[in-house]
Amino acid sequence: MKTNDPAANDIHESQNRSPQDNLEKRAKRRKRFISRRSFLGKSLAIGAGTIGVGLLPDTRTARASGDLTSGDAALLRFPAALETLEADFWIQYNELGGIPDPEVPGGTGNPAYTEALEVLDEDMAVYIHDNTDDEITHYQFLNAYLVSKGAAPANLESFRTLRGSMARGVNRQLMGRRLTNLTQLTLDTSWWTRYRDDSHNPDLDPNHVFPQAVPTLAVNQHTAIPRTDRDTRDPNFLQAIANTAGFHFPTIEQGGNGLYPSLAQRATNVEVVRILISIGPTETMHFQTWSDKAGNAPPLTAVDPVTGVSVTFPDLNSPPFGGELFQTNLIMPEPCPFLDRSLPIVSIIRPTKTEGVAMGALQFLTNMGLFIGQSPAFFAYLTQLAQEADAATRGC
């Protein structure tokens, strides 16, 4: 029965469509997809549908040598919180455009959205699935390690209150139980030129303004997932949504790319250093993968039919863009100044400064709109974790 509520009508339509509609296509993709972690069995897999119930009951039986200082615990607890948030939004992406399966369960996929993502790369669904799996294991490991040392884990369960998408394919059990908001994003895409600039480093040039790859994403609010089925009806707008997701992926991952080496410089315990420098490079692998896919976003202009906001994805290889600062196939970090300008330029991760890095990361995510709709208590908790991480000092 139709109602006057567009969202309710979309839900009604979604519930009356069989998840088998796109089964043949997804089955073919699964035949090509071999999980690189399947050999681990069920020991590391906690279903996306059960995320939120806490750590495994036997987590406290884990053993590790040595004790953590309060500073080292803080250096792990803050990224554990961020990885929990990452897992939350990657799960949303996987439900709609990835591969829901026993390894990352939940949702049934949105064929139209998946198809729009595949314009960027035919293997996008596989990459989304794998990235989701990675982030789940990151926060589970960090929290389990903290508990094994008698330290408090990061716990965001009471803040699972955001609605999320109502489009076909989402896990309906998690509607209204999201931590993050993917429908009102404002994306800083200056990382694109920062990693192609061989003359500037934000650690040495904090006031230098790196040009945006997609200037219109840096203003107003844009959705990276279909909010309801109505968002999938206009192919041009749906492609703009997929393009937004394509740029959101590397925007997020480049943050972790620099966060982990920055935090590692403050750690005292060698094992904590090892954890931070072991997880960090996986974020770098994610970043380079997604930065390559973002370069395949087709040029277009679209207007959001709900908000009236316009977005334009330019051809980055043509004027007024073009050149090495925007060239889409330059995905290796260009050498740049590091530590001192008297030294030769070198290819590095940037920034890697340590001062205020946690608060900077939190502010970056907040400015992105990822937490629109969250409570003051949520921001207070994350601010406390960030401040504690920034207060950590390396001991002898």
For the stretch 285-296, pLDDT in tens is: 999 999 999 999
> Considering only 11-25, 50-64, 240-254, 321-335, which range has the smallest mean pLDDT?
50-64
Per residue in 67-108, pLDDT (tens digit) is 899 999 999 999 999 999 999 999 999 999 999 999 999 999
Which amino acid is it at 71? Answer: G
Average pLDDT over residues 386-390: 98
Residue 269 has pLDDT above 70, yes or no: yes
Using alpha carbons, select from 144, 21, 130 the residue that is nearest to residue 77: 144
Helix (H) or strand (E) holding 146: helix 124-148
Helix, strand counts (H, E) of the chain: 10, 2
- Quick one: DSSP state of residue 248? H
The predicted pLDDT at position 62 comes to 36
Q: Which residues pair with 303 in a beta bridge?
A: 310
Q: Categorize the per-residue pLDDT at 194 as very low, low, confident or very high, splitting at 50, 70 and 90.
A: very high
Average pLDDT over residues 370-382: 98
The predicted pLDDT at position 9 comes to 45
> Considering only 16-30, 114-128, 181-195, 341-355, which range has the smallest mean pLDDT?
16-30
Per residue in 22-64, pLDDT (tens digit) is 444 544 454 444 443 433 333 333 333 333 333 333 333 333 3
Q: What is the average pLDDT value for the chain, to the nearest integer? A: 87
Q: How many CB atoms lie within 10 A of CB 198?
A: 14
The predicted pLDDT at position 277 comes to 98
Residue 66 has pLDDT above 70, yes or no: no
Average pLDDT over residues 258-281: 97
Helix (H, G, I), strand (E, B) or coil at 23: helix
How many angstroms separate the CA atoms of 396 and 393, rounded? 10
Average pLDDT over residues 348-358: 95
Which amino acid is it at 288? Answer: Q
Per residue in 201-230, pLDDT (tens digit) is 999 999 999 999 999 999 999 999 999 999
How many angstroms separate the CA atoms of 334 and 385, rounded? 33
How many angstroms separate the CA atoms of 359 and 217, rounded? 23
